[in-house]
Chain A
Amino acid sequence: MVAFYIFGFKEGLKMIKNRRMIAIGIIVSIIFVIIGCVYLSLSQETLDKVAEEFGLSDSPLWAPPLPDYELPGLEGNIFANVAIGIVSTVLILAFTLAVGKALKARKEMV
């Protein structure tokens, strides 16, 4: 309702619709993360198999803070993995929103 007062009816409606879409997206993403961490967490991709067969080994240049989507010290902890999945999903959402809004702002400036 506050959105209607601040931005007017049309803009307010648009904002509410957008927020609803984002909220649904976050809920669906959380479901994906939970399924991914609890039931479908085992990963052995084709490339891993090819690497194993042909003796390829990786040599990382960068030590990621959350290797293999796990919190160091809490490896195998489903709750920690779900939390990491949810936080990073929200982070990606915020990052993409920022990129999109920045591009849109530049478009309006031109």
Chain B
Amino acid sequence: MHIPDGFLDLSISVIMFLVVIPFWIFSLRGMKKVLSDKQVPLMATLTAMFFAAQMMNYPIIGGTTAHLLGGPILAITLGPYAGLISMTIILFIQALLFGDGGITTFGANVWNMGVIGVFIPFLVFLLFMKIMRNEKGMLIGAFAGAFIGDVLAAIFAGLELGLSTLTFPYSVQIAVTAMGINHSIIGIGEGIVTTMILSILLRQRADLLQLPKMAPTWLPSISLDLKRD
């Protein structure tokens, strides 16, 4: 889903940069407040791991391939602020060293895979956790969050392409449909992997899931006192 240079109109690219800047500022500020001794190495380890995981392309239908984005699990383990910064670092290195994603489209890519791909799964996950208040709720929330986040990120990518009338001479609807349909399958894959990782973490390293500490202050308080099934 890394949009290269030349796919988007310059105006759309500039708008996407402007939209992302406040998220970077709030995330750096928010992250600074919750950063603990354990979280810095955890963040570095997970960022490196999901960069490496993005190198694995698995085949899906129609001769296309997909790879794990990692945004949902970064959001659940690190919180949305550090998750966004992690994704930004991954996307920056990918664009700079490997040409995977453009320089002018960096803002759009961060919006799609960083802001949407991290904040949406986090909010959906919290919603399920709040409603169900048990481990099953966490796992369903992780799956739903990963799926919705992935599909929404693809829809935004389609929207940005469709609105780039100088480079993409087709309608917004065509671009959104083309991106959204395939990514609904990729979203299922992201959801399954996210749920699997979360399930392992809950059993092996539940201490890494410090959600109450990492949640944005504007959200209602979150409790991790889960009812055991």
Report which A residues bind B (CB closer than 8 A).
14, 18, 21-22, 24-26, 28-30, 32-33, 35-37, 40-51, 53-54, 56-69, 85, 88-97, 99-101, 103-104, 106-107
Contacts and interface: CB of A to CB of B under 8 A. Distances in A.
Contact of B52 (A21, A29, A47, A50): A29
> Which label, helix, strand, loop or mixed, suits the secondary structure of the A interface?
helix
Nearest to A14: B37
Given A36-B53, A96-B43, 8 more contacts: A18-B41, A45-B65, A58-B102, A60-B6, A64-B95, A100-B41, A100-B44, A104-B32
Interface residues on B, range: 35 or more
A92 B48 contact: yes
B32 A56 contact: no
A101 B41 CA distance: 9
Contact of B35 (A56, A95, A107): A107
A58 B65 CA distance: 19
B1 interface: yes
Given A46-B179, A61-B102, A61-B103, A97 B4 contact: no
Contacts of A60: 4-6, 99, 102
| Residue among A48, A49, A106 having the largest count of chain B Cβ atoms under 10 Å | A49
Contacts of B90: 92
Contact of A96 (B44, B66, B183): B44
Given A35-B56, A47-B157, A53-B178, A25 B33 contact: no
Nearest to A18: B41
B186 interface: yes
B219 interface: no
A73 B97 CA distance: 16
The CB with the most chain B CB atoms within 10 A, among A47, A62, A93, A97, is that of A47
Most buried by B among A42, A53, A64, A99: A99
Interface centre among B1, B51, B167, B174 (most CB of A within 10 A): B51
A69 B98 contact: yes
